Structure 1
Amino acid sequence: MSDRDAARAAKSQVQDLVGSDPRVNGIGLTHVGPAWAVKVNVVDDQDYPELPEQVSGVPVVVRGVGRISAL
């Protein structure tokens, strides 16, 4: 499995863990150095669901992006 495939699988696991939490705006993939990682966008980087640092060996990063709404 490629690094990107592993990250996609980890993203699915993270989605199952916190995808329905209202503090989470989105879940995607990003790079941490040369490696793929799961990125969890949250409303407030001081108040977010508990997440592991890694899922199946893939890093998980959290970024506060504020509230997102349609224009």
Structure 2
Amino acid sequence: MADLETARVAKKVLAARLANDRRVNGVGIGGSGGNYKIKVNLVSKDDRPDLPLDIDGVPIEIAVVGKIYRQ
């Protein structure tokens, strides 16, 4: 289990690592009550970056959301 502050630090580290990766739409924090995780939104399930299972004990959850378009 990861607290919110640990998740924020881990998100910052992972977001910096993935900043220029066009396969990634976004990096956020999910969960509540001391059970936080980092959520990575991807463009495609077939072309995904190599991600660890966790960063500093904060689990990483992957969601394929597709390409995001401006409206």
Q: Specify every segment of 5 or more residues in structure 2 that has no aligned partner in the other structure, as ranges.
A: none
Residue 16 of structure 1: how far off its partner (Å): 1.7
Q: Within 2, Cα distance between the matches of 1:19 and 1:45? A: 18
Q: Map residues 35-54 of structure 1 onto 2, 5 A cutoff.
A: 35-54=35-54
Contact residue 44 and residue 65 of structure 1 kept, 8 A: yes
Misfit runs of 4+, over 2 Å: none
Match of 2:7 in 1: 7
C-alpha distance in structure 1 between counterparts of 2:4 and 2:45, whole Å: 25
Q: Normalized against structure 2, the TM-score is what?
A: 0.88
Is the 8 Å Cα contact of residues 19 and 27 (structure 1) preserved in structure 2? no
C-alpha RMSD of matched pairs (Å):
1.9
**Equivalent in the alignment of 2:67:** 67
TM superposition score normalised by structure 1:
0.88
Q: Match for residue 19 of structure 1?
A: 19
Question: Is 1:42–1:48's contact at 8 Å kept on the other side of the alignment?
Answer: yes
SS in 2 for 1:68: coil
2:29 corresponds to: 29
Offset at residue 69 of structure 1 (A): 1.0
Alignment length (residue pairs): 70
